[in-house]
């Protein structure tokens, strides 16, 4: 495959740069099966972003995450104290990067303008990137909250063109989320899908330009 000629790389945050599965560690305190609890919480979190965008009833990603947590607690029929709820939510402010990410970003920053474009609120993103030490690698940190819609709305991807001195064809968008890959490719970006688990890509639209297993493969491919 020919190398992609791009000048900037825009990354999704959750599930791409940081491991949403790591939130399961915080769920151990309240759930007998923390992985199942966390997986359901994440699924509801994303479902609510889609529903709220479609209904025109926007709430920011922190609020959506709280709503998804509330449903998941009821769904699993467990008792959770206010302090435990706070610790569960705070897990999103203390994310765990995938192990190869920092070194890969260090190398990519030498050649490309790097940015984050996420559904997360500005506070969630900035706090999380500060906690992980990754903020230094990104020139721009963009939140869907600024347009009051969620990915895969084209208005969210438009933020990259608004805040970066690059043309659409000069940007590579990187995500591990199928809906995000479809949305970014539909918008017109070159797209890389990080497929860490090997699960099939949802057949929602045009295929990504590049498929890798992690950040090291991304560095090698471009």
**DSSP, residue by residue, 144-201:** GGGTT--TT-HHHHHHHHHHSSS-GGGEEEEES-HHHHHHHHHHT-EEEEE-SS-PPP
Q: Is residue 1 part of a domain?
A: no
Q: Residue 189's CB: how many other CB atoms inside 10 A?
A: 24
Distance CA(110)–CA(128), nearest Å, equals 23
- For the chain, list residues with pLDDT below 70: 1-3
Catalytic residue list: 12
Q: Do 111 and 184 fall within a single domain?
A: yes
Distance CA(28)–CA(35), nearest Å, equals 8
Q: Do 111 and 123 fall within a single domain?
A: yes
> What's residue 198's pLDDT?
85
> What's residue 1's pLDDT?
44
Q: 39 is in which domain, residue-wise? A: 20-93
> What's residue 204's pLDDT?
84
pTM confidence score: 0.95
- Here the CATH number for the domain that contains residue 56 is 1.10.150.240
Q: Do 66 and 175 fall within a single domain?
A: no
Distance CA(170)–CA(202), nearest Å, equals 25
Domain end position, chosen among 41, 65, 93: 93
Alpha-helix residue ranges (DSSP H) falling in the chain: 24-27, 34-55, 61-75, 82-90, 101-109, 122-132, 154-163, 178-187, 215-221
């Amino acid at each position: 495959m020919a190398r992609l000629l791009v000048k900037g790389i825009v990354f999704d945050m959750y599930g791409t740069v940081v491991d949403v599965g790591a939130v399961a560690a915080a769920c151990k305190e309240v759930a007998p099966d923390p992985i199942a609890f966390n997986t359901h919480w994440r699924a509801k979190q994303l479902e609510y972003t889609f529903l709220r965008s479609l209904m025109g009833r926007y709430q920011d990603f922190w609020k959506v995450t709280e709503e998804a947590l509330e449903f998941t607690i009821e769904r699993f029929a467990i008792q959770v104290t206010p302090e435990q709820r706070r610790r569960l939510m705070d897990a999103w402010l203390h994310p765990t990067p995938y192990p190869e990410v920092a070194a890969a970003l260090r190398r990519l920053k030498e050649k490309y303008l790097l940015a984050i474009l996420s559904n997360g609120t500005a506070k969630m993103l900035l706090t999380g990137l500060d906690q992980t030490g990754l903020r230094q690698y990104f020139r721009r940190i963009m939140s869907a909250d600024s347009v009051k819609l969620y990915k895969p709305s084209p208005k969210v991807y438009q933020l990259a063109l608004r805040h970066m001195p690059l043309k659409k064809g000069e940007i590579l968008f990187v995500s591990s989320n199928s809906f995000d890959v479809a949305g970014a490719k539909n918008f017109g970006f070159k797209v890389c899908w990080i497929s860490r688990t090997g699960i099939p890509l949802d057949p929602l639209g045009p295929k990504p330009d590049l498929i890798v297993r992690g950040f090291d493969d991304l560095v090698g491919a471009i």
